[in-house]
């Protein structure tokens, strides 16, 4: 494995293919989640996703990070992010727009780091956040009705909890990304299952077993095996092998791919004011990302 500081600037052909694979996998994931919400309630979906993701714990050793850090990752980056994301899509937010709005986790991470870790953000990072916020307003104006505004708010909560999880995730540097993913998936299961029982009842929570469908289990398999196990393993390998300035921008391709899949598979319309909002949000996120990576050089 190369040292990130060794000056390796260009991704090798296998790593380029791996990066494109996770971009496609994560981009398709938003539409797959939309299909999953036709089969499960949000809390049933989240509970079973993490139950399956945690199964390898029987043969994967605990990573060398504290339980507090694992709880932060599991609670914010995993449970918080995905529950709010599921609720936003259940409330009617299309998968393509959802993928764009959750990318605000990048600029929001800068804000949280400044507030809680006393890190200084650059002007470029603050400007990127401001531009992205304008894009959110444009998207909100393109979504009709109070349900649309609620869904956008839930998607922003997803981005915020992901950003909070990023602060905890820093402690995992050097640890196996697969091991962190598996062990951090254990802690959200009890609270998610408890909420699912209270809100939906035991029958809904046990739907994958009591009323299994090929579509439901395909969704669960897809969101666990390629998206979390393989996806985080590849992403961690890239971050450990290359400078962040080379790897970070790859994430901007995910919402672009998600928009294409959403248009093809569920007919999500993107045009007019909504398209302008998407472009502005991604432009702001890109500006903040490149301002962040410049600091790492």
Instruction: Work out the pLDDT band at 243, boundaries 50, 70, 90.
Output: low
> 89: closest CA among 30, 141, 172?
30
pLDDT digits (tens, 9 = 90+) for 17-30: 998 999 999 999 99
Taking 50 as the threshold, does the pLDDT of residue 113 lie above it? yes
DSSP string, 68-104: HHHHHIIIIIIIIHHHHHHHHHHTT--HHHHHHHGGG
pLDDT of residue 235: 82
pLDDT, mean of residues 196-210: 96
Task: Give the integer Cα–Cα distance in Å for 105 and 288.
Answer: 11
pLDDT of residue 123: 82
pLDDT of residue 3: 45
Q: Percent of the chain, pLDDT > 90?
A: 52
Instruction: Work out the pLDDT band at 245, boundaries 50, 70, 90.
Output: low
- Look up the pTM and report it: 0.86
pLDDT, mean of residues 264-272: 87
Taking 70 as the threshold, does the pLDDT of residue 271 lie above it? yes
Instruction: Work out the pLDDT band at 202, boundaries 50, 70, 90.
Output: very high
Instruction: Work out the pLDDT band at 224, boundaries 50, 70, 90.
Output: very high
Task: Give the integer Cα–Cα distance in Å for 29 and 256.
Answer: 13
Taking 60 as the threshold, does the pLDDT of residue 106 lie above it? yes
Taking 90 as the threshold, does the pLDDT of residue 143 lie above it? no
Instruction: Work out the pLDDT band at 174, boundaries 50, 70, 90.
Output: confident
pLDDT of residue 5: 45
Taking 70 as the threshold, does the pLDDT of residue 132 lie above it? yes
Task: Give the integer Cα–Cα distance in Å for 277 and 223.
Answer: 28
Q: In sequence order, which residues have a C-beta less than 8 Å from that of residue 84 and are 6 or more positions away?
A: 154, 155, 157, 158, 161
Average predicted confidence (pLDDT) for the chain: 87
Task: Give the integer Cα–Cα distance in Å for 26 and 255.
Answer: 9
Please state which of the ranges 53-57, 128-132, 157-161, 201-205 shows the lowest mean pLDDT: 128-132
Instruction: Work out the pLDDT band at 297, boundaries 50, 70, 90.
Output: low
pLDDT of residue 7: 47
> 50: closest CA among 205, 274, 160?
205
Please state which of the ranges 11-15, 191-195, 208-212 shows the lowest mean pLDDT: 11-15
Taking 50 as the threshold, does the pLDDT of residue 6 lie above it? no
Instruction: Work out the pLDDT band at 188, boundaries 50, 70, 90.
Output: very high
Residues 152, 138 contacting (CB under 8 angstroms): no
């Amino acid at each position: 494995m190369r040292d990130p500081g060794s000056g390796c600037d260009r991704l090798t052909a296998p790593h380029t293919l791996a990066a494109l694979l996770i971009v496609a996998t994560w981009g398709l994931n938003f539409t797959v989640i939309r299909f999953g919400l036709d089969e499960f309630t949000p809390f049933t979906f989240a509970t079973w996703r993490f139950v399956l993701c945690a199964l390898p714990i029987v043969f994967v050793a605990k990573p060398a990070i504290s339980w507090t850090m694992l709880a932060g990752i599991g609670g914010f980056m995993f449970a918080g992010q995905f529950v709010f994301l599921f609720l936003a899509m259940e409330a009617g937010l299309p998968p393509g727009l959802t993928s764009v709005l959750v990318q605000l986790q990048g600029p929001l991470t800068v804000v949280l780091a400044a507030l809680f870790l006393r890190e200084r953000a650059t002007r470029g990072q603050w400007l990127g956040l401001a531009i992205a916020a304008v894009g959110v307003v444009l998207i909100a104006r393109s979504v009709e009705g109070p349900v649309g505004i609620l869904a956008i708010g839930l998607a922003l909560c997803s981005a915020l909890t992901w950003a909070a999880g990023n602060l905890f995730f820093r402690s995992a540097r050097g640890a196996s990304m697969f091991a962190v993913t598996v062990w951090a998936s254990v802690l959200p299961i009890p609270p998610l299952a408890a909420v699912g029982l209270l809100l939906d009842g035991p029958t809904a929570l046990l739907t994958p077993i009591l009323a299994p469908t090929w579509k439901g289990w395909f969704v669960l398999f897809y969101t666990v095996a390629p998206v979390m196990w393989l996806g985080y393993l590849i992403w961690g390998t890239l971050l450990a092998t290359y400078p962040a300035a080379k790897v970070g921008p790859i994430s901007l391709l995910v919402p672009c791919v998600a928009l294409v899949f959403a248009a093809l598979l569920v007919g999500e319309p993107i045009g007019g004011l909504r398209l302008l909002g998407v472009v502005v949000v991604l432009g702001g996120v890109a500006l903040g990302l490149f301002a962040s990576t410049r600091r790492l050089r």
